[in-house]
């Protein structure tokens, strides 16, 4: 018997009204959508934010005009010229203060993420905690932006390699992580000496306003110049301005593979740099020696967490035929225990999808995979009655399928879990896992040391993330986050991901009285 019990260590947030959550973060019914810091700008065009919980309007954010965008980038470029001269440990101090400000606002900002995006309150708190964690990482990094010393082949010469900031970094984030992904980029970019212009998702624009409000307090307390952290608001048009803007040497974009193709091509066309974090079609290989309890817990949370709207959500289970029926039965039993409803109520496991388009995509995919021969084992319905009639709630779905189906090969941003069977060795399962175009996250459930190490070897998973005995979703900030193939190849967060926000420079110093040339070349005049 498997039991999925929510963590009750958190406050029961549904006692707080949406207006109380918004007010606590200085959000208004109408909010200017463009900011270079303490300066805010509005237009007569608006984005309306609706909560996917009940479909009610939360507020409006004004759309950035082209002239406002140009002013934001101009101020960001001016601020960069000052910020780059501030010692990195001092920049780290600003980030430390920002992390502390996030700690103070964690409950409220986590609730806003849940309210505007629809993920559970626990997950909303977890997302803000990621912001805090990356601040801590960046503070340490501020004293570890190391270069290299290199032995020269010429006498009386020193060589070294150092790193310099790029300038203005453009960040385009998606609705499913409306605050954390920005923080991954902001903290690393700032500690490296860059400034940031952020276009948040038009599906969660209030989260961006709230984050800017928190940053502004830190900036004001330290008399920082306007333009270190700026926001612009709008649809894909505003993002297009960034991708073709020569004043933005690096664009970090999170979203669909379709979006990434456009952004990557446009930025490369002007010889800019990009960090692309795109789609995932993540699988867990379940071997005969798996620990069933760990397997089922990891698979279910990976598949239904954030209502299947994570780039690392578990989409496919590749199950050995010797344990297939046992795993299938346990999964169906576990799905039967899921509580679906208001994500601010911590007794619920699953909140809503983001909007009606997502519901339509969910239903279309289920219909398509059935036509290809798939069998729905449970779920797949749109829920109705009570709060379900106002929000965008579905019953997470399990489908028996084949990896060759077109529906299985593409990513559907919804809680659909495909069960795939393999009967040979773990090598056969790895072939199935790798035979999709995406390469973000992967996992294997095994008690066999050889299988685990093969999965992590050069003959194993081709994904940017490969886990053993944990699921595909979630990542610690200490490691670089990102994937291969159509996932884009970008890396954010920990490890040496900071290098993407800087330019490399090789230096040679001649401290002798002669000028020997490289490779022993003689040039006498």
Active site residues: 277, 311
Token readout for 511 is 């401290």
**β-strand partners of 441:** 465
* Cβ-based neighbours of 231, under 8 Å, separated by 6 or more: 33, 34, 35, 197, 198, 199, 200, 208, 209, 211, 212
The backbone region for 6, taken as left when phi is positive above 0, alpha when psi lies in -120 to 50, beta otherwise, is beta
Task: Please state the three-class secondary structure of 377-431 as a single string.
Answer: EECCCECCCCHHHHCCCECCEEEECCCCCHHHHCCCCCCEEEEEEECCCHHHHHH
The SS3 assignment for 358 reads helix
Instruction: Classify strands 30-31 and 57-62 as parallel, antiparallel or unpaired.
Output: parallel
Token readout for 211 is 């984050």
Rounded to whole angstroms, the Cα distance separating 93 from 86 reads 11
Rounded to whole angstroms, the Cα distance separating 486 from 277 reads 9
- Angle CA(195)–CA(200)–CA(202) in degrees, nearest 5? 155
- Contact between 116 and 206 under an 8 Å Cβ cutoff? The reply is yes
- Contact between 9 and 125 under an 8 Å Cβ cutoff? The reply is no
- Contact between 484 and 295 under an 8 Å Cβ cutoff? The reply is no
Distance of CA 87 to the CA centre of its chain: 29
Rounded to whole angstroms, the Cα distance separating 132 from 427 reads 39
Rounded to whole angstroms, the Cα distance separating 447 from 481 reads 26
The backbone region for 413, taken as left when phi is positive above 0, alpha when psi lies in -120 to 50, beta otherwise, is beta
DSSP for 265-298, written as a single string: HHHHHTT-EEEEE----EEEEE-TT--HHHHHHH
* Cβ-based neighbours of 523, under 8 Å, separated by 6 or more: 517
């Amino acid at each position: 018997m498997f039991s999925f019990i929510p963590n009750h260590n958190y406050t029961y947030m549904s006692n707080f009204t949406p207006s109380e959550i918004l007010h606590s973060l200085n959000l208004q019914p109408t909010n200017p959508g463009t900011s270079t810091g303490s300066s805010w700008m509005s237009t007569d065009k608006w984005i309306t934010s609706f909560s996917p919980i009940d479909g009610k309007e939360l507020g409006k954010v004004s759309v950035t005009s082209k002239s406002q965008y140009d002013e934001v980038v101009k101020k960001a470029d001016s601020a960069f010229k000052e910020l780059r001269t501030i010692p990195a440990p001092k920049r780290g101090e600003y980030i430390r203060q920002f992390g502390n400000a996030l700690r103070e606002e964690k409950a409220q900002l986590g609730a806003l993420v849940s309210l505007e995006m629809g993920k559970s309150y626990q997950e909303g708190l977890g997302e803000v905690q990621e912001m805090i964690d990356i601040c801590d990482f960046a503070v340490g990094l501020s004293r570890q932006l190391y270069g290299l010393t290199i032995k020269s082949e010429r006498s009386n010469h020193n060589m070294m390699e150092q790193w310099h900031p790029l300038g203005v970094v453009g960040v385009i984030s998606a609705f499913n992580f409306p605050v954390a992904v920005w923080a991954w980029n902001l903290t690393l970019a700032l500690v490296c000496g860059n400034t940031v212009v952020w276009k948040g998702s038009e599906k969660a624009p209030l989260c961006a306003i709230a984050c800017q409000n928190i940053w502004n307090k830190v900036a004001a307390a330290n008399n920082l110049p306007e333009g270190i952290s700026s926001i612009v608001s709008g649809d894909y048009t505003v993002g297009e301005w960034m991708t073709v803007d020569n004043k933005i040497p690096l664009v970090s974009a999170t979203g669909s593979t379709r979006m990434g193709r456009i952004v990557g091509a446009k930025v490369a066309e002007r010889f800019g740099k990009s960090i692309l974090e795109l789609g995932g079609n993540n699988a867990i290989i379940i071997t005969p020696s798996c620990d069933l309890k760990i397997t089922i817990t990891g698979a279910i949370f990976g598949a239904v967490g954030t209502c299947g709207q994570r780039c690392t959500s578990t989409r496919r289970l590749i199950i050995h035929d010797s344990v297939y029926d046992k795993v299938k039965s346990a999964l169906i039993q576990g799905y039967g225990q899921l509580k679906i409803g208001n994500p601010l109520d911590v007794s619920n496991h699953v909140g809503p999808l983001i909007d009606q388009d997502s519901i339509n995509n969910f239903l279309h995919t289920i219909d398509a995979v059935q036509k290809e021969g798939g069998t729905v084992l449970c779920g797949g319905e749109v829920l109705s009655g009570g709060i379900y009639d106002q929000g965008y709630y579905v019953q997470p779905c399990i489908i028996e399928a084949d990896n060759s189906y077109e529906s299985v090969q593409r990513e559907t941003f919804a809680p659909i879990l495909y069960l795939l069977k393999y009967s040979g060795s773990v090598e056969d399962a790895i072939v199935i896992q790798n035979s999709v175009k995406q390469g973000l996250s992967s996992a294997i459930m095994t008690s066999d040391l050889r299988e685990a190490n093969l999965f992590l070897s050069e003959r194993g998973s081709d994904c940017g993330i490969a886990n053993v005995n944990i699921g595909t979703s979630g990542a610690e900030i200490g490691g670089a986050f990102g994937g291969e193939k159509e996932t884009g190849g970008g890396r954010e967060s920990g490890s040496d991901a900071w290098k993407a926000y800087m330019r490399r420079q090789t230096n040679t110093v001649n401290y002798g009285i002669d000028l020997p040339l490289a490779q022993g070349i003689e040039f006498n005049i």
